[in-house]
């Protein structure tokens, strides 16, 4: 399907890469974005990295008149607008709910009045909470969690209530969500609202659950952004990356270039209709490993600092089973972590990053959200 595609939040990190991917494939791309200060700085202007052929409409998604203008003649919509940040969502509750939940509702009300042929919504690994685990006898244990007592005792790993160790395994889309933060709740609300309304009005809808996305154009001075960007900001300012818990949390870091390809496939593959897909790299590493590898690639001879603190809402292990995306979308990750971090490092050489990690930690600590 070629035609006009609208990307909400399309001037952001992921949205701008999707815009470039679609333009390269022959689509006309329109972007609506409010250029929020936390991401784009105090005096935001059209980002230099946004493809010159992308049409930009500046404004808030919650403005119905702006949406009517943005949706005119549109064939498909990517919905990427969202405030991000697990910790921040726990005290800016009204703002996260307004932008993420209400913004999606207003978009859907206007969208169904237009002849939109497809809707793709960006969801998040955060909806899973903890990933999937197995008991010692190999049985799935999908509702793992840690008590406050365990966390205060620095007992980081998952176990059953009677003390049996649990082993993390790739998490499939069928795992029951476990919402540990206002951000996670809002992302689950976004995806389910889009799927529900899409089914009701006959708009084919696809939800993509992104794992830890990294790459060029990430907001380096936003302390609530992806962990690799936070580590990069620290390293560029001569500071050690600070890691919560013991650094052995398992994650999947996926290049934004693979994410952009997955987004295009979700638009073009008819069988994707009304489905949810994990989008990751298929590689699993610890948070400490990724911090150390990034420092080496950037030429910084520093080791990460293991804080031993924990943040309310953080999870221990979560990495995806991407079999469904491979089978239905034809998605195949192409960027290995080492190569992807080199892409990131090359871009970082031209950037200035303001390290605001300590501000973020102090804010969360003052509210009892870092212990």
By annotation, the residues acting in catalysis are: 183
Q: Are 159 and 165 in contact (CB under 8 A)?
A: yes
Name the residue with tokens 């911090």: 291
Q: How many CB atoms lie within 10 A of CB 184?
A: 23
Q: How many CB atoms lie within 10 A of CB 291?
A: 28
Beta strands 55-58; 76-79: pairing state = unpaired
* Strand intervals (E) in the chain: 4-8, 28-33, 55-58, 76-79, 118-124, 132-134, 140-141, 167-169, 205-210, 212-214, 242-243, 250-251, 253-255, 275-279, 285-286, 305-306
Q: Are 213 and 263 in contact (CB under 8 A)?
A: no
Exposure class string for 55-93: b at 16+ Cβ within 10 A, else e: ebbeeebbbeebbeebbeebbbbbbbbbbbbbbbbbebe
Q: How many CB atoms lie within 10 A of CB 359?
A: 11
CA distance 7 to 32: 6
What values do phi and psi take at 134, rounded to 5?
Answer: -120, 145
Percent helix, strand, coil in the chain, to 5, is 40, 20, 45
Closest to 129 in 3D by CA, of 14, 204, 209: 209
Rg (CA), the chain: 20
């Amino acid at each position: 399907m070629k035609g006009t595609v609208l990307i909400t939040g399309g001037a952001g990190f992921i949205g701008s890469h999707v815009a470039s991917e679609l333009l390269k494939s022959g689509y006309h791309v329109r972007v609506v974005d409010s250029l929020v200060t936390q991401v784009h700085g105090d005096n935001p202007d059209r980002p230099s990295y946004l493809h010159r052929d992308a049409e930009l409409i500046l404004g808030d998604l919650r403005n119905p008149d702006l949406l009517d203008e943005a949706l005119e003649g549109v064939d498909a919509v990517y919905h990427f607008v969202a405030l991000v940040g697990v910790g921040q969502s726990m005290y800016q509750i009204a703002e996260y709910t307004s932008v993420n939940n209400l913004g999606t509702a207003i978009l859907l009300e206007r969208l169904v009045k237009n002849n939109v042929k497809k809707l793709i919504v960006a969801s998040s690994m955060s909806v899973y909470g903890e990933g999937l685990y197995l008991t010692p006898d190999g049985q799935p244990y999908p509702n793992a969690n840690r008590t406050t007592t365990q966390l205060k005792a620095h007992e980081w790993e998952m176990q059953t209530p009677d003390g049996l160790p649990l082993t993390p395994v790739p998490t499939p889309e069928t795992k029951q969500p476990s919402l540990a933060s206002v951000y996670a709740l809002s992302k689950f609300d976004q995806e389910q609202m889009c799927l529900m309304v899409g089914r009701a009005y006959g708009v084919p809808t696809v939800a993509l659950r992104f794992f830890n996305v990294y790459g060029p154009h990430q907001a380096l001075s936003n302390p609530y952004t992806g962990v690799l960007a936070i580590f990069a900001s620290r390293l560029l300012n001569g500071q050690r990356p600070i890691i919560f818990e013991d650094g052995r949390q398992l994650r999947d870091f996926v290049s934004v270039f693979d994410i952009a390809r997955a987004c295009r496939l979700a638009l073009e593959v008819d069988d994707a209709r009304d489905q949810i897909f994990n989008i990751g790299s298929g590689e699993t590493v610890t948070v400490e490993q990724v911090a150390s590898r990034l420092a080496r690639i950037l030429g910084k001879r520093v080791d990460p600092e293991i804080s031993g603190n924990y943040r309310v809402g953080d999870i221990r292990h979560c990495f995806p089973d991407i079999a469904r995306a491979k089978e239905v979308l034809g998605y195949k990750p192409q960027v290995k972590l080492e190569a992807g971090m080199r892409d990131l490092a090359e871009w970082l050489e031209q950037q200035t990053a303001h390290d605001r990690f300590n501000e973020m930690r102090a804010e969360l600590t003052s509210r009892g959200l870092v212990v």
